[in-house]
Structure 1
Amino acid sequence: MSTIYFFLSILKLVVIISFIFILPAPSAAIDTEHVGKRLNVPASYVAAPYYPTPHGGWVADWSESYRKAALLIANMTLAEKTNITCGSGYDMGRCVGNSGSALRLGLPQLCLQDSALGLRNSDHNTAFPAGITVGATWDKSLMYARGVALGAEFRGKGINVFLGPTVGPMGRKPRGGRNWEGFGADPVLQAVGGALTIQGVQGQGVIATIKHYILNEQEMYRMYSIVQPGYSSNIDDRTLHELYLWPFAEGIKAGVGSVMAAYNAVNGSACSQNSYLLNGILKDELGFQGFVMSDWLAQISGVPSTLAGLDMSMPGDGLVPLLGDSYWMYELSRAVLNGSVPVDRLNDMATRIVAAWYQMGQDKDYPPPNFSTNTQDATGPLYPGALFSPSGIVNEFVDVQDGHAIVARNISRDAITMLKNVNNTLPLSTNSSLKIFGTDAQKNPNGINSCSDQGCDQGTLGMGWGSGTARYPYLDSPMDAISSRASNVKYYNTDTLPSGLTASSSDIALVFINADSGENYITVEGNPGDRTTAGLNAWHNGDALVKDAAAIYSTVIVIVHTVGPILLEEWIDLPSVKAVLFAHLPGQEAGQSLTSVLFGDVSPSGHLPYTIPHNESEYPASVGLVYFELGQPQDTYTEGLYIDYRYFNAHSIKPRYAFGHGLSYTTFSFSNTEITAVTPLTSTPPARPAKGSTPTYSTTIPPASEAYWPAGFNRIWRYLYSWLEKSDADAAAAVASTSSYAYPAGYINIQKPGPPAGGAQGGNPTLWDIAYTISVTVTNTGNFSGRAVAQGYVQFPVGIAYDTPVIQLRDFAKTNTLARGESEVLTLNFTRKDLSVWDTVQQNWVVPSVGGNYTIWIGEASDALTLGCYTASLGCRSGLMSPV
């Protein structure tokens, strides 16, 4: 091993141990006001036990894959089964996660790789727009196309498991560090984006991973360590089902192969060993057939996490990585031999993993990994996390970009959201006199990939930071694109307006500002993932830059790259600020996508995937960040169903810009609206289908010899193995016959028929029966070609026994590009589930008023709803007063 790799290995160990042992990061100083105030989970929030783990394979769509998997598992030794359920250790292979293998039977080591927007730490790949940008398109076809392109690139690099899409966090906390990885602050927008991504990715034969399950809504204090548990997200059952589970249910219905358990706890129990979440909801109620993996180093126990439903440990290490310790691997072999882990639980774990491999067709002509997430060199250590590692070829530099830049550019373009455009200031002429300000307009001068995992805010902000990033193959910056289109451009690469500037009446100032956030293991400019120091303000003097420009130039256009909502009040109403564009996080295609809108090649058609307030005090106090405490930080969801626009509407707060808002260069009319009843509703869904048969699992403990170390095996220190010394294996087997394990409270090992709300992937299949369809003719009534979005919101009948938000998004559709005078008919579907609430007593979805009059509102934004359709009369009316 070379000296440089030796020191890099030591440095990684120091960083990781520091991350685990140190209390708050220096930049996340202890907030003494909060210390000691939230130490115990409130009494009404309970993580009930749910055992055993339901066996997989009872869903018809997976039956053949389970049949094949069961045959393979039947021929595996104990050590082979435990090997495939666990990673081989931190940095112990080419990928960010590397499972064990069963090569004797043809099952390779599985490669698991970030990120949800493109290949992390690779080369010759596309840096796609972030999830929040995709959500801002409100375009289902682009959501799917991005999934197809991502799947093709991951397959091309030989990756078995794509660690995406992200649908949690939901965006409950505006300052949350990773909100930008998801599709927006609404369960339906998240669900549609997630499900279509899954379909696209898995259509290419790659296993998708929906994450982070669940309620990981902030970055600080999410992880368990030896000094403090991860924070506990405390939530009621109805809110869990109607908001945060919704996109996971849709992802499971789409057939997702893997679910990643989050770092935090829910109602006091860590997600990686929360039996109610994993066994009860995920695998029983939602019928999940794939495997559950831990987030990296999120597993905090061996036997309890096994019994609670965890199937794969990543990256395999125990609490402190790079020491060769593990909760599973050899410890799982020991646990099966001594009887503490039932044999059928291990068989189910292994079968779920192998079934997902078969389900995606990876047993036939699937390429092995051809890249390294650890180095950009062609050769290097085969196991970089090992103290001493053999070396070899680790990177073949396979180009997987194909034509995916077009997909990325289309998304970045169609996500651009115009918030303001006074007197048709936009679009601009290419002959305009343009003065451009802000470092965000140009590439990072130190290099577009100079900051590891994009852990800095320098130059154009194309994505946040952390594991959800990718290296740029190139970055088409706004400045590059503008200067190639316009003939009279002067750029000031500064975030402070130069002194002595004068402006002519024809000058137009384009001011670029941004706001960043990311994952907690990197602190950027005092922000430890979440936006603590920056708050919801623009970074780098952005507000002052806009105000100063507005004091000199009579026409100012503000372009914003941001991870989420920012406060605009310091300058949004200044007379000189004529136009505002939110370009979100455009990835590598930040330039031409913007200029196509600026100069009128296309009309902006993006819409906000979140609400922009006037100030932070307009949010409920409960969605603020939780801080360090001497004990487990408690994050209690007292706002219930009321986040983002639901809260604003409930409290009659008119925000600065509403959820779904977005302007165009043209105008649209909605007409000829028709509502059609499709499936008659009943109060509760019809009885669920019975579970199908599952593979038969032996309960006999295998002989200890199945876990013996092979004779003469050459071990690599720090690499994780599933074998035991003969004496250890024999001793474990002897224990099984002389004592019994103290199982968790409520533990049983008798399979259940399943809850009434279940019955298929995602839940009772009748939940997706279409109750009503609405067709609407959208006509371009303006003088510019453009695309319109029809957003469909449900308002529940008055007088029902359940409190419901005023309106809730339930479907949406986007037109093709319509020329002046051109029309297109859009169809929106509303399902039984869309018209239901979760009843905590019946533990089922209930239509609260079967014959009641639901109003389905159609419009271009959540606060621009003047067209209503009524389920009781099956009539529609226009020109109504908006419900909010």
Structure 2
Amino acid sequence: MNPTHTFDDARRAVEHGASVDEAAKGLVANLSEHERLWCLDGDAPTWAGLKFLNDDGYHKSVFVGAELDRIGFPGIRFSDGPRGAVVGNATAFPVPMARGATWDLDLEERIGDAIGRELRAVGANLTGAVCINLLRHPAWGRAQETYGEDPYHVGEFGAALTRGLQRHVMACVKHFACNSMENARFSVDIQVDDTALHEVYLPHFRRVVDEGVASVMSAYNSVNGEWCGQNHELLTDVLRGEWGFEGFVISDWILGLRDAGASLAAGLDIEMPYRMVRQQHLPAAIERGEVTWADVDRSVERVIATLLRFDHVLSAPSPSIDVLGTPEHRTLAREAAARSVLLLRNEPVDGSSVLPLDPAHRVAVIGRLADTVNIGDGGSSDVWDLSCRTVLAGLRDAIANVAHDDGTDLGRAAATAGAADVALVVVGYTYVDEGEYIGETDPSLMSLFPPGDEADVVDQFRGSLEALRHTTKPERTSDRPRMFSRGGDRSSLRLPHADVALIRAVAAANPRTVVVIQAGSAVITTEWVDDVPAIAQAWYGGAEAGPGLTDVLVGTVNPSARLPFTVPVDEADLPAFDRNATTFTYDRWHGWWRATREEITPAYPFGFGLSYTTFAVRDVAVSADGSQIVARGTVRNTGARDGADVVQVYAELPDADAPARLVGFARVDVAAGAEAPFEIIVPVDRLATRDSARRAWRPPTGQHTITVARFAGDPAATTIQLNPGNTAS
């Protein structure tokens, strides 16, 4: 291989047959010590960077790391993006939890493609869009950023988003690992045994790694006594040793590591986003022999090799900035909003169901959120979309006679409802009630910050800001604090008292009352559910939330969403949750499989959702050939409307102490009165169990119970006993 002095030289070496690792190693060998250290953190100065962040910088510019002008190496250019590109005025898609409710992997991949296009247009080459921490408890403040409670379901959605994104940018999966508490994220230590870690809290990360994700972001919390940003077991033993991950690892923002040398030795490649802990302490750690230059080179080589691996993507022409908010992307956002609307209840009143609405009827739309742009968290996932449409706006497009009341006066709201044919009450949460937590932290963490910035780095940073494209701040954010909103874990799983009082007042005035819930995860409905005939969960539905919901309410789109989590009857039905904990134990038991073991009947089970038609799963057959299990059958649409159902495959293991698993699913579109076949293939290694002593996996043996159902606990399910190594009987 010829000498490699520039990134273009490394590209040419790869074109002529060198591996990306060889080309990266050759390039690193020609870097100075200063250049190699420069690649190990973000390029921005800490204090000037924080000042820019406080001036809404998260939405104005990508975060740059490891850029080396001398050799033409672009480094990483990061923007967040779970529900759309965070930089610029991009398209706001429904939050990931809403998209998880679609059970539609093709839709998620298309959304990833659209977000990826917009990210490239704003100058990003890396995005933290793939957030897949499990919803262990619905009080978690950032529940809306993930896809659900089940590791298989979450992993498949994370993989689908990754596929779409990586047509245009590198994807980063986060937060690795066990990051399912928000308020205590900077201080809590999660205690988790090897079996629970690998069978429950890591499978979805491995799935996304197997999909070829470019990068992994470590979490703030510690696991088994070591901070995730310097956790050798997670970042090296598991991620690289067991899984064969070939990309690079970045820290979470600002407080993502505590020790410069320990983080490097553990396998964290880039501290983001500022020259902060490593800039201060890594040279001395090398001098003391705590880490070596070989450790430095290894991390730099990983970063360069990954960009070489993705060079065919990143060298392609970037889309024009005009791609942000295109009609095509807004149509996709509307499709996703409609697909995500979850019909939980639709009881008849006077012999007919309340939904779908008749556009000729008078509709009263009531509640503080009915005419509010409510697209979710105000933290790092917020999208500055300038064209968001509310529930009220969507309904007025489709229904001629719509009256609106904000619900602040119960008597007036009841009178408005009573004068209508149907009343729609929009209730729930906002970014104030749940989201990323930017509140009080341990004062000792201030010791991680440098006393000042490097003058030359500040000059370079300020020069880069002068060239930024203008980004317009949405009017809806004008009353928020600078930087991020406070957010945090929920203090309650129930609706605010004022919302419950409003529901009851409206329902008393109009028996045909529909409740629409906007929230990022489960809301307990027990205290008021019997007061109303119809309930729909509409999540934080993105820029087209109003039109998408309207499409379902008037029947243009038949609801097909299914729950990505379990909705309990009462808080006591859930595992413990302490949002202020300093140490907490995660075991294998939460979600639908805990409810099954404890014989707890949920208000609404995992995988459940109603439609305007009805379905039956028939002619189910399950076979095994030693390498895979195949479930086949047909879905019959027994109603009068075209619709889609979701067939789900569950497995109970021979070990009575092991949780049951979701192991496959398929969304099936079926015309009215027709039937459609399904085939769900389950590789047998999806049933493997963890052998902690060997740090390996045991292949499945013995009789397994395979259940083909429409939701967890479905009484009409088909159950078959089989040994995965044999043919089913």
Pairwise same-fold verdict (TM > 0.5): yes
Q: How does 1:251-650 map to 2 (within 5 A)?
A: 251-297=208-254, 298-317=256-275, 326-329=276-279, 331-333=281-283, 335-336=285-286, 339-361=289-311, 365=315, 399=324, 401=326, 403-423=328-348, 424-442=353-371, 459-499=372-412, 501=415, 507-516=421-430, 517-521=434-438, 529-533=487-491, 535-539=492-496, 541-574=498-531, 577-621=532-576, 623-627=577-581, 633-637=582-586, 640-650=587-597
Alignment correspondent of 1:7? none
If you compute each CA radius of gyration, which structure gives the higher value, 1 or 2? 1
One-letter amino acid of the structure 2 residue matched with residue 518 of structure 1 = G
1:854, distance to aligned residue in structure 2 (A): 1.4
CA–CA separation in structure 2 for the residues paired with 1:636 and 1:504:
51
CA contact (8 A) 1:292 1:312 kept: yes
How many Å separate the matches in 1 of 2:394 and 2:144?
Answer: 25
Q: Structure 1, residues 135-163: CA drift from partner, whole Å, max 9, x if none?
A: 00001111111111111111122201111
SS in structure 2 opposite 1:787?
Answer: strand
Amino acid corresponding to residue 521 of structure 1 in structure 2: I
Equivalents in 1 of 2:209, 2:235: separation in Å?
A: 13
Q: CA deviation at 1:870?
A: 3.1
CA distance in 1, matches of 2:502, 2:727: 53
The Cα offsets for residues 701-721 of structure 1, whole Å up to 9 and x where unpaired, read as: xxxxxxxxxxxxxxxxxxxxx
CA contact (8 A) 1:185 1:609 kept: yes
Is 1:792–2:717 an aligned residue pair?
Answer: no
Between Structure 1 and Structure 2, the one with more strand by share is 2
In the TM superposition, residue 332 of structure 1 has moved relative to its aligned partner by 3.4
Asked if residue 869 in structure 1 is aligned to residue 726 in structure 2, the reply is no
Q: Distance between the aligned counterparts of 1:331 and 1:635, measured in 2?
A: 31
Among 85, 96, 102, the residue aligned to 1:119: 85
Deviation at 1:201, TM superposition (A): 0.8
Q: Which amino acid aligns with 1:484?
A: D
Q: Does 1:653 align with 2:506?
A: no
Match for 1:670 among 608, 617, 621? 617
Which secondary structure state, in structure 2, belongs to the residue aligned with residue 536 of structure 1?
Answer: coil
SS in 2 for 1:845: strand
Cα separation, partners in 2 of 1:502 and 1:182, compared to 1, 3 Å: closer
Distance in 2, matches of 1:676 and 1:398, equals 47
Q: Residues of 1 paired with 2:604 and 2:664: CA distance? A: 20
- Any gaps of 5 or more consecutive residues in structure 1? 1-61, 224-229, 318-325, 371-395, 443-458, 628-632, 681-769, 877-884
- Could you tell me whether the CA contact under 8 Å between 1:618 and 1:653 is conserved in 2? yes
Deviation at 1:71, TM superposition (A): 2.6
Supply the distance in 1 between the matched residues of 2:224 and 2:185 (Cα, whole angstroms). Answer: 14
Structure 1 residues 645, 212: closer, same or farther in 2, change over 3 A? same
CA RMSD, 1 decimal: 2.5
Number of residue equivalences? 649
Matched AA of 2:309 = Q
The yes-or-no answer on 1:211 pairing with 2:168 is no
SS of structure 2 residue aligned to 1:75? coil
Q: Is the 8 A contact 1:439 1:460 kept in 2?
A: no
Q: 1:812 aligns with which of 656, 665, 676?
A: 665
Query: Which of 69, 73, 90 is residue 107 of structure 1 equivalent to?
Result: 73
**Distance change >3 Å, CA 398–CA 138, structure 1 → 2:** closer
Deviation at 1:515, TM superposition (A): 2.1
Matching residue within 655, 663, 677 for 1:825:
677
Cα distance, 1:472–1:364 mapped onto 2, change above 3 Å: closer
| Pair 586,478 (structure 1): closer, same or farther in 2 beyond 3 Å | same
Percent of pairs identical after alignment?
30
1:97 and 2:46 correspond: no
82, 95, 107: which one aligns with 2:37: 82
Give, in whole Å, the separation in 1 of the partners of 2:94 and 2:662: 24
Higher helix residue share:
2
Structure 1 residue 794 displacement after superposition: 0.7
Q: Which residue of structure 2 aligns with residue 858 of structure 1?
A: 708
* AA matched with 1:511: V
CA contact (8 A) 1:418 1:606 kept: yes
The structure with higher relative contact order (CA 8 Å, sep 6+) is 1
* Residue aligned with 2:246, SS: coil
Find the residue that maps to 1:191 and give its secondary structure.
helix
Question: Paired residue for 2:151?
Answer: 187
| Structure 1 residues 492-544: Cα deviation after superposition (integer angstroms, max 9, x where no partner) | 0234423472765862110001124101116999x9533444x1122472111
Shift of 1:782: 0.8
- 1:329 is displaced (CA, Å) by 3.6
In 1, the alpha carbon distance for the partners of 2:507 and 2:67 equals 62
Equivalent pair of 1:209/1:256 in contact (CA under 8 Å): yes
- The residue identity in structure 1 corresponding to 2:427 is I
Shift of 1:331: 4.4
**2:184 aligned residue (205, 221, 225):** 221
Once the two structures are TM-superposed, the CA of residue 874 in structure 1 deviates from its matched residue by 4.8
Distance 1:367 1:70, change over 3 A: farther
Letter of the structure 2 residue corresponding to residue 857 of structure 1: T
- Whether 1:149 and 2:114 are equivalent positions in the alignment is yes
Mapped contact 2:364–2:416 kept (Cα < 8 A): no
The offset of 1:406, in angstroms, is 2.0
Gaps of 5+ in 2: 1-16, 441-479
Match of 2:204 in 1: 247
Match of 2:632 among 765, 771, 775: 775
d(CA) in 2 for partners of 1:419, 1:102:
54
Separation in structure 2 between the aligned mates of residue 264 and residue 828 of structure 1, nearest angstrom: 37
Shift of 1:847: 3.2
Report the Cα distance in structure 1 between the residues aligned to 2:80 and 2:175, rounded to whole angstroms: 13
Secondary structure in structure 1 of the residue aligned to 2:565: coil
